Amino acid sequence: MAFDYGEEHGPHTWVLQFPDAGGKQQSPINLITSNMTEDPKLGPLTLLDNGISKQNVIMKAHNFEVATEGTGVLKGGPLKSEYKLVQFHFHWGSGNTWGSEHLVNGVSSPSEVHCVFFNERYGSISDAMKHPDGLTVLGSFLQLGKDGNPVFERLLNNLVGLKAGEKKSVNPVIKLSEFLPRNLSKYYTYPGSLTTPPCSECVTWIILDEPILISQNQGPQSVKSSWRYLGGTYGTDHFGFYEEKLDLP
């Protein structure tokens, strides 16, 4: 079944082929911080990625992703189980002012990275997608700063010459702990969905408050635009704030 971000097969048509797209917990959303409360029951996030052994960068029609093999685990925070890393991918706009899927108080960022994990209780990502706690996506906004980001530059270098459908091995592998903000203590979390078909409502979203900084030269103009219309404004989000830092190797 075809889908894209254009007029004929764009987000407004997805519900015709993918019924979950008409659900009440669709993502992305506009995160309104004045509607949020700090939840003292939420614990710290822990990211363990020493076991990542192999990666392939894959160019797709709407974005690019880095498929990961080995052991990358996210736990803690709002999560009741350990979640295994499958891949991370990026969403971009056509310019340097918008492109992220989520908004914060109506404001977009140039790009957004999504790190996709599945609940290890269910054995596989396909089985996990059948359950409301099946997946978690750790998201972070990319914003423009003065200096270039060396880890991101390494990733971009792997995209040179790649066409849609092609892939390339990433060597050495890119650890999320090298790329994501060091401080995982402040984040927004809510129950939502995949942002592309089948739009399954199986995702615990965790969006980091601190952005990843990239330079103007690393901006999104050269990457094909891909974004989804906002699913709505979620009024009962929880805002987590802790002093614990990201576990580094």
Catalytic residue among 62, 91, 102, 238: 62
Given this model, what pLDDT does residue 1 score?
55
Give the Cα separation of 111 and 26 in Å (integer).
20
* pLDDT over 80 (residue 233): no
What lies within 8 Å, CB to CB, of 59 at 6+ separation is 159, 162, 163, 164, 165, 166, 167
Give the Cα separation of 155 and 157 in Å (integer).
5
Handedness of CA 30, 89, 177, 161 (dihedral sign): negative
* pLDDT over 90 (residue 4): no
Residue, of 157 and 20, whose pLDDT is higher? 20
| CA distance to 3, 34, 246, per residue, from 235 (Å) | 29, 9, 28
pLDDT over 90, % of the chain = 57
Question: 26-228 — its CATH code?
Answer: 3.10.200.10
pLDDT mean over 15-40: 93
**Torsion angles phi and psi, residue 152, rounded to 5:** -65, -35
Q: Per the structure block, which two tokens stand in for 119? A: 């609940």
Q: Residue for token digits 């040179």?
A: 160
Q: Where are the chain's structural domains?
A: 26-228
For the chain, the distance separating the N- and C-terminal CA atoms, rounded to the nearest angstrom, is: 42
What is the chain's mean pLDDT, rounded? 84
Whether 131 is catalytic is: no
pLDDT tens track for 192-210 = 999 999 999 999 999 999 9
Given this model, what pLDDT does residue 247 score?
32
| CA distance to 19, 88, 225, per residue, from 222 (Å) | 33, 19, 9
Q: What is the DSSP letter of 107?
A: B
Given this model, what pLDDT does residue 241 score?
34
